[in-house]
Amino acid sequence: MRRIEISLVFLVMACSSNLSERPASPPPDRPGGASRDAAAPATVPRPVAEGRPTSPERDAGRPARPFVPQRLPDGYLHYTDACLPGTQVTIAAVGDLLVHHELQRQALKAKNGFVAIWEPVVDLLAKAELTYANLEGPTARGLDRQGNKTPDPGKRFDDKVYTGYPRFNYHPSIARDLVTSGVDIVSMANNHALDRAALGLDRTLDVLDSAGLNHFGARRQGTDAPWYVVTEINGVALAWVGCTLYTNQPDKHGQVMHCFKKPDRVTPLVRKLAQTPTIDAVIVTPHMGKEYVPNPGKKEQKLVRKLLDAGALAVIGSHPHVLQPWEKHVTPDGRETFTLFSLGNFCSHQRPLPRRSSMILFLGLTKGHDGVTRVNGARYVPLHVRMEGDMERFFVEAIDRAGGPQDSRALTTAMFGELNIIAPEDPIVTNPHCDPTWPHHVK
Ligand SMILES: [Zn+2]
Amino acid identity of residue 328, one-letter, is: K
Q: Quote the pLDDT of residue 240.
A: 98
* Mean pLDDT within 178-199: 98
How far is the centre of ligand 1, averaged over its atoms, from the C-alpha of 186 (Å)?
A: 14
**Cα 105 to ligand 1 centre (Å):** 21
Centre of ligand 1 to C-alpha 413, Å, is: 24
Cross-strand partners of 302: none
What separation in Å is there between the alpha carbon of 317 and the centre of ligand 1? 10
Question: For 2-152, where are the E strands, in sequence order?
Answer: 6-8, 86-97, 130-135
Q: Is the pLDDT of residue 359 over 70?
A: yes
Question: What is the reported pLDDT for 52?
Answer: 54
- Closest among 80, 109, 96 to 135, alpha carbons compared: 96
How remote is the CA of residue 269 from the centroid of ligand 1, in Å? 22
The reported pLDDT for the residue numbered 104 is: 98
Q: Using one digit for the tens of pLDDT, what is the confidence trace for 202-248? A: 999 999 999 999 999 999 999 999 999 999 999 999 999 999 999 99
Provide the pLDDT for residue 65.
61
Distance (Å) from CA 340 to ligand 1 centroid: 16
Q: Give distance in angstroms: CA of 437 to centre of ligand 1.
A: 42
Distance 243 CA to ligand 1 centre (A): 11
Rounded CA gap, 276 and 378, in Å?
Answer: 25
Q: How far is the CA of 315 from the centre of ligand 1 (A)?
A: 16
CA–centroid distance, 114 to ligand 1, in Å, is: 20
Residue 287 alpha carbon to ligand 1 centre in Å: 6
How far does the centroid of ligand 1 lie from the alpha carbon of residue 192, in Å? 7
CA 314 / ligand 1 centre spacing (Å): 20
Model confidence band, residue 67 (pLDDT cutoffs 50, 70, 90): confident
User: Mean pLDDT, the chain, as a whole number?
Assistant: 88
Mean pLDDT across the stretch 308-316? Answer: 98
Ligand 1: centre distance to CA 6 (Å): 28
Q: For residue 98, report the distance from its CA to the centre of ligand 1, in Å.
A: 8
Cβ atoms of 218 and 241 within 8 Å: the answer is no
pLDDT tens digits for range 41-53: 333 333 333 445 4
Q: How remote is the CA of residue 11 from the centroid of ligand 1, in Å?
A: 29
Separation of CA 412 and ligand 1 centre (Å): 20
- Compute the distance from residue 153 Cα to the ligand 1 centre, in Å: 26
Ligand 1 mean position, distance from CA 349 (Å):
14
Q: Is residue 138's pLDDT more than 70?
A: yes
Q: How far is the CA of 149 from the centre of ligand 1 (A)?
A: 25
- Report the alpha-carbon distance of residue 290 to residue 321 in Å, rounded: 9
The pLDDT tens digits for 301-311 are 999 999 999 99
CA of 88 to the centre of ligand 1 (A): 31
Name the pairing type of β-strands 281-287 and 236-244. Answer: parallel
Span from the CA of 112 to the centroid of ligand 1 (angstroms): 26
Quick check: 253 pLDDT over 70? yes
Domains defined for the chain, CATH in brackets: 68-434 (3.60.21.10)
- H runs (alpha helix) in 235-350: 266-274, 298-309
Rg for the chain, CA atoms, rounded: 20
- Other CB atoms within 10 A of residue 53 CB: 18
C-alpha to C-alpha distances, 211 to 108, 170, 206, 214, nearest whole angstrom: 18, 14, 9, 9
For residue 136, the CA-to-ligand 1 centroid distance in Å is 7
Most confident of 21-25, 64-68, 108-112: 108-112
pLDDT for position 28: 31
Higher pLDDT residue, 196 or 23? 196
Type and span of the H or E element at 176: helix 173-180
- Averaged over 385-394, what is the pLDDT? 92
pTM over 0.95: no
Work out the percent of the chain whose per-residue pLDDT is above 70.
85
Closest by CA position to 313, among listed 268, 266, 270: 270
